[in-house]
Each structure stands twice: as C-alpha cells, then as structure tokens.
Structure 1
Amino acid sequence: MEKQNLTFLVSSCCFFLLLLSEMQGVQGSSSHHHRHRHHEHRAVYGFHPKELFVFGDSYADTGNSPKNASSWEVPYGITFPGKPDGRYSDGRILTDFLAKYLGLKSPIPYRFRKYAPNRLKYGMNFAYGGTGVFNTLVNSPNMSTQIDFFQNLMDESVYKKTELEGSLSLVTVSGNDYSTYLAEGGTTQGFPSFIARVVNQIAVNLKRIHDMGVRTVAVAAIEPLGCLPEFTFLNSFKQCNATVNTVSTLHNTLLQQAVAKLNIESKDSGAFIILDLNDAFTAVLNGIDTTVKFETPILEPCCLGTTSILGCGSVDAKGEKLYTVCDNPKAAFFWDATHPTQAGWQVVFSELKSQFDRS
C-alpha cells in the first residue's frame, strides 16, 4: 500500500458477507553466483531455504521504487539504516524479518542487482511499491512483469531451475488493485467479482513461480484494510472500519480456496502456503499478542501528514515539512497511513513465523 487514496466506503457489511457464502471457488549461472553458504538455515516444511525470491508491493519492497517515491524521502529509514533507502517504513520490513529468520541476508532489490553481484546468492527482491497483480501505476511493473524479470534472469543463467529446489518465494498483495479499481470508477456492486479476478490472477502467478522451480511459494493474506490509519483517522484512530474489513475477509476466503486447490493439483501440501497477515495484524491490534505493548494509540501512525493523512515525507514549495513524526517510532505500530513501523513488523512476524515451524 502506498500513496494512493484507498478511502472508500463499501455499501454494507451484509452485502459482502452474503457474497462470501455464495462464492465457492476461484474462477476461472554466472561465475559470481556461488552456492556456498555459511549460515544455519531454518527449516520450512522440512527443507532449508537457501534463496529467497520476493514479488509484490511496498509491504515487501526494499528499494525498487523510483527515487521520487516517498520511501526515498526523509523521515523514512530513520530507525534503519538511519536514512531513506527505499523501504516504506522507519526501518526493516516483512522481507527483512523473513530473510533473517531463514538465516539469509535480505535479497538485493532487482534494480541494484549489478552493483552487488555477491548478494545474488541469497535470491532477489522484485517487489515494487504501489503495484498490484494488475496495472496500478503508470510504467510500473505489476506482478506478472516482476515474474518476467525473474524469467529473464533464468534465461541468462543467473539462476537455474535445478538450483531453485532449495528456494522460497514471498508474494505480497496489500490492496493497491482495490484502490485503483475504485479510483477508476469501479462500483461496489462489481467489487466482489473484481476481488475474485484479483485472487484468480494471484493463483496464476503463484503457479507460474512454482513451475519455474521455486520449491515453496508463500503468499501473504491481505491485512485488515479497515484498520489502516487512512481509514481510522475518520474516527480519530479509535477503531477499525468493519465495513472496509469485509473486503479483506472476501479476498482472504477466496485466497484460501485458491491455495488449497493449487496444493491439491501440485500433490504437495507444502508447495503453496499462506502467511496470514490478517490474523497477525488483528492479534497485535486487539492486544491478543502481549509480547510488545505499544505506547502510542495503536491505530495512530507515527508519521502523520499535517495537510493529508497520506502526507508523511511531504514538504511545501519552500522545503518546509508538512508532516510530524512521533518521538519514539519503536512505541508505534503504524509508521504512516498504510505501513507498519519496524517494531510493528517485528511483532507481526513473531506471529507469522509459527507458520514456518511445521516440518
């Protein structure tokens, strides 16, 4: 989720919940590329991933977005690495925590692949902030194009299919398709069928990544959209928007069906797995996870625009800041209108990692 206006109201909770019950399925090597590792790799479903390949949006992007994106502006990156570096947070994000858990260095962003060839052995990050499975930003790579980039590297023998049997893929879809749908005049009546189209394409993408040789593909369920600050600011960050959360419910229900179908077809129950971001976010936001206590009202972002909820990092014509930043980002769950802080991602991943512990 990026600086796109996702502010919308779905016609009613009942409308989507009814459709939930009615919709039962988803339609429709180079010399520098050494394979030696000095890390202790964590087992995932009985194997130890040696490479991580990442596709998706800003929840996974560690530097692919262009230099005019907010992720390259102050105050992004103030916690890590101390300056903006392309991550949509004050510090580390989901990709980083997953890589560390696996005993890997965070995979290098695709745009920087030629500058650090020694990092290719850990995999690669193709995720690009603001994108979706369909076109959401002009001249930006949607997920199919990101996978094309991966295929090009395989065609160049940077990665070989036989070598990918020890790899894991992370795929994130965080809502940009839905904001774009509404911004382009999509109706609430057509929303459920569009959600099904999005999930159908996710399924196509997951299968394609697996068919390219990646052993296990982990796809993130969509977060509770109605709990993002860009919605909760309407009630002074006091509570989530239950109506908007029905979009997440429908998306995740269809995603579960799609992934189950893919596993049946692949005859491998561990080929495709869901990282339940929705449950993880909910557990933290509702105080179910008590390992960390956030001091800031949990729905309120640390970095808040003074003229717009989406204004973190913005300045006026004179270069004066049009945002405020909380005193202690470690005490806040949300960084800006749509993204968690490093501390937020850390506690979310503590909820998620149990899903990798099955072996």
Structure 2
Amino acid sequence: MAKQLIPFIISLLLFIFTEVEGAKRSYGVYNSNPVKLFVFGDSYVDTGNFVHSESYKPPSGITFPGNPAGRFCDGRIITDYVASFLKIESPTPYTFRNSSNLHYGINFAYGGTGIFSTSIDGPNATAQIDSFEKLIQQNIYTKHDLESSIALVNAGGNDYTNALKTGRIIDLPGFMESLVKQMSVNLKRIRSLGIKKVAVGLLQPIGCLPVLNVISFRTNCIGLLNVISKDHNKMLLKAVQELNKEAADKSVFITLDLYNSFLSAIETMQKKRAEKSTLMNPLQPCCEGNNLEDSCGSLDDEGSKKYSLCENPKLSFFWDTLHPSQNGWFAVYTILQSTLGQLIT
C-alpha cells in the first residue's frame, strides 16, 4: 500500500511546488523579466552615482537606511518611490554596475549635472544616455527587456540654478528654448533605444528652493523665479505633446508635475503650521551650513560640524537648501500616484 502511495505523493508535491513557484512569479518574486527602470538626470533622482559628495557623508540617510547611502536626502527619494510603485527594487547606480544586480534596471543619474554641462564634473544627460546605449550594444539588456521597461528622466534644475548663481543667463528665453530642445532630443533618443514608456519630470518651482528663497527670509517662494519654472514647463509640455504625436503609441511620454506637486505639498504644510505654530516651516531646510561657504555635512579641519540639523527631519519638506526630505518626496509622490498609473497601462 505504501509503495502505491509514493507516485501519488511525488505527483502531489510536484503540483504544489509548481503552483507555489507560479504564484511567486505572478507577484514578481522570481520573475525572470520584471519591469526594469532606467533613470537619467540629476540629484533629484540619483541613488548613488556621485560617490565623492555629501550624499555619502553624514547626516545623509539619517532617516533611511540610517546611514549615508548615496542619496541627497535623509532617506528615500522619488526614484525609490517610483520603483516601489512598479513593485521592484530601486535600480542599481551605474557606478556599481560591475558588482551589483542589474535585474531591476540601472540608474545613470548624477547629482549636480544637467541637460548641458554645469559646475559639477559629472556626466550630463547626453553622456548618461551614451552609457545606456553602450550597455545595449554589449547585450546587457535585450530588446524584450527594453520593451517592458520604463525610463525616468529629471533634469534642468541645475542648469538654471547654476546659470543664476554664475550670472550666465543673458538671454533667458533663448537659454530656455535650447534646454527644452535638448531635452526633447534626449527623450526621443531614449525612446529610439527601445523603451516604451518614458516619464519626464517638469521643473520644480525653483523660487521655493531654500538656496533662493532665503532672500524672502524663508517666508514665501520667490514668484519671479517660479515664473522661470512655469515658462520652462509650458515649453516642455508642448515638446512632449509633439513627441507623442510622432509616436505610434500616443502615450509613450508622460510628465510628472513636480511644479504643482511641490507647491501643493508646501501649501498643505503651511496650513498645518498656521494651526500649530510648533510645526516646521516647509520653506526652511532641515540641514543647512552655518555659513554661505558651508553646506549640509560640512566639517572643519578638526572634524567638528559646520552645519545645523533640525530636530525631526520627518517634519520637514526640504532636507537641505536644494533637495526635498524623505517626508517631502513622499508628499510629492502621493500627489503623483495617479499620473504614475499611466506607466503601467
């Protein structure tokens, strides 16, 4: 009798194993070809490429994962939230491509860079796409991989802030037009390499950045500077619309409205602060250098801190003078979720 049961038991175990493995694959646990995320741009989306920067020095990463992890933030940034929305891990930074899992894509973004060259000696958007193309030529990713992949692109903010700080903007409309034109070229090129869905971030309200709103004593955003963002975004939206008209699939390119998401999140926090004055001013950075020449994470020759840190980063919107905190990014992500849904339809 026992011998007769052995084949039945083996068949039953095989059936259970097959069903369990199938269920795992259906939820992406062991999926051999999950959605892959390829990221291009600046520090808003960089998760670890700028190794010799404050992103790898305390107090970065103080909220998550508890130590510096290559993000210009106290914790997670928008890239992490987009990856989570896609039910995958954040893609590996390009810097670590030879020693890490490339299963979920690659992050080419490099903090401080822009659409064109900036004061940071790092790969601009064009150079990042060059690196992506080389990996495709090396067959690191197949055509099938790319067809089920998504690109996240965010650049332009550093081009403007760098130009404003150095006084290089003589012809603002011409500068803006050249930026948007190059962004359009970049987006079209990413699409031509085989990626079916591309999400591009609109320019954040640069007049709200603490590095610039300091002239209002952090009481409000600088409206005149926000006009630059609005005009840039109008031009970029038109360019994206044209790109979608040219594409066979009319919804290849989608825009992530960082401009209104930032403003909405900041306004919500300001209203809460009006009701409870002990809450943090959302236009105030959590971490800031003690002097103009210092920044978040600066130390003197003896290793003493040359910056101040807020009591609770989880109550801030801005982490430092340029970047949202994890709390800030989560608020922005929450507003953008309905738009992100277009990536998976």
Q: TM-score, normalised by structure 2?
A: 0.86
* Contact 1:59/1:174, CA 8 A, preserved across alignment: no
**Mapped pair 1:250 → 2:231:** yes
Can you list the C-alpha shifts for 1:311-351, whole angstroms capped at 9, x where unaligned?
11111122111111111110111100010111110110000
Q: 1:220: which partner in 2? A: 201
Compute the displacement of 1:291 (Å). 10
Report the aligned-residue RMSD. Answer: 2.3
Amino acid at match of 1:166: S
Kindly tell me the number of residue pairs found equivalent between the two proteins: 314
- Which aligned pairs between 1:189-338 and structure 2 lie closer than 5 A? 190-287=171-268, 295-308=279-292, 311-338=295-322
**Mapped pair 1:104 → 2:85:** no
**Mapped pair 1:70 → 2:54:** yes
Equivalent in 106, 112, 119 of residue 130 of structure 1: 112
Amino acid at match of 2:289: G
Compute the displacement of 1:94 (Å). 0.6
Q: 2:14: which partner in 1? A: none
Q: Which runs of 5+ in 1 are unaligned?
A: 1-35, 42-47
Q: Tell me, in whole angstroms, the C-alpha distance in 2 between the residues paired with 1:290 and 1:102.
A: 32
* Contact 2:203/2:258, CA 8 A, preserved across alignment: yes
Of stretches 97-106 and 264-273 in structure 1, the one that deviates more from structure 2 is 264-273
Task: Mark the CA change 1:54 to 1:324 in structure 2 (over 3 Å): closer, same or farther.
Answer: same
Q: 2:161: which partner in 1? A: 179
1:287 match: secondary structure: helix
* Contact 2:151/2:195, CA 8 A, preserved across alignment: yes
Task: Mark the CA change 1:318 to 1:309 in structure 2 (over 3 Å): closer, same or farther.
Answer: closer
Task: Mark the CA change 1:346 to 1:167 in structure 2 (over 3 Å): closer, same or farther.
Answer: same
Q: Tell me, in whole angstroms, the C-alpha distance in 2 between the residues paired with 1:305 and 1:184.
A: 20
Equivalent in 83, 90, 110 of residue 67 of structure 2: 83
Of stretches 243-252 and 136-145 in structure 1, the one that deviates more from structure 2 is 136-145
- Which aligned pairs between 1:17-56 and structure 2 lie closer than 5 A? 38=25, 40=27, 50-56=35-41
Q: Which has the larger radius of gyration?
A: 2
* Contact 2:125/2:155, CA 8 A, preserved across alignment: no
Q: Tell me, in whole angstroms, the C-alpha distance in 1 between the residues paired with 2:24 and 2:252.
A: 24
Compute the displacement of 1:50 (Å). 0.6
* Contact 2:196/2:252, CA 8 A, preserved across alignment: yes
Q: Which runs of 4+ in 1 moved over 6 A?
A: 288-294
Compute the displacement of 1:234 (Å). 2.1
Q: Which runs of 5+ in 2 are unaligned?
A: 1-22
Q: 2:8: which partner in 1? A: none
- Which aligned pairs between 1:155-170 and structure 2 lie closer than 5 A? 155-170=137-152
Task: Mark the CA change 1:163 to 1:198 in structure 2 (over 3 Å): closer, same or farther.
Answer: same
* Contact 2:299/2:306, CA 8 A, preserved across alignment: yes
Task: Mark the CA change 1:287 to 1:174 in structure 2 (over 3 Å): closer, same or farther.
Answer: farther
Q: 1:25: which partner in 2? A: none
Compute the displacement of 1:137 (Å). 3.6
Can you list the C-alpha shifts for 1:114-140, whole angstroms capped at 9, x where unaligned?
111xx2111110000000011114541
Task: Mark the CA change 1:72 to 1:181 in structure 2 (over 3 Å): closer, same or farther.
Answer: same
Q: Tell me, in whole angstroms, the C-alpha distance in 2 between the residues paired with 1:233 and 1:183.
A: 14
* Contact 1:310/1:336, CA 8 A, preserved across alignment: no
* Contact 2:207/2:222, CA 8 A, preserved across alignment: yes
* Contact 2:77/2:326, CA 8 A, preserved across alignment: yes
Q: Tell me, in whole angstroms, the C-alpha distance in 2 between the residues paired with 1:212 and 1:279.
A: 31
Q: Tell me, in whole angstroms, the C-alpha distance in 2 between the residues paired with 1:254 and 1:248.
A: 10
Q: Tell me, in whole angstroms, the C-alpha distance in 2 between the residues paired with 1:39 and 1:226.
A: 45
Amino acid at match of 2:91: P
Q: 2:19: which partner in 1? A: none
1:201 match: secondary structure: helix
* Contact 1:283/1:289, CA 8 A, preserved across alignment: no
* Contact 1:314/1:323, CA 8 A, preserved across alignment: yes
Q: Which has the higher contact order (CA 8 A, sep 6+)?
A: 1
Q: 2:3: which partner in 1? A: none
Equivalent in 315, 332, 343 of residue 348 of structure 1: 332
Amino acid at match of 2:45: A
% same residue? 44
Q: Tell me, in whole angstroms, the C-alpha distance in 1 between the residues paired with 2:228 and 2:294.
A: 21
1:54 match: secondary structure: strand
2:268 match: secondary structure: coil
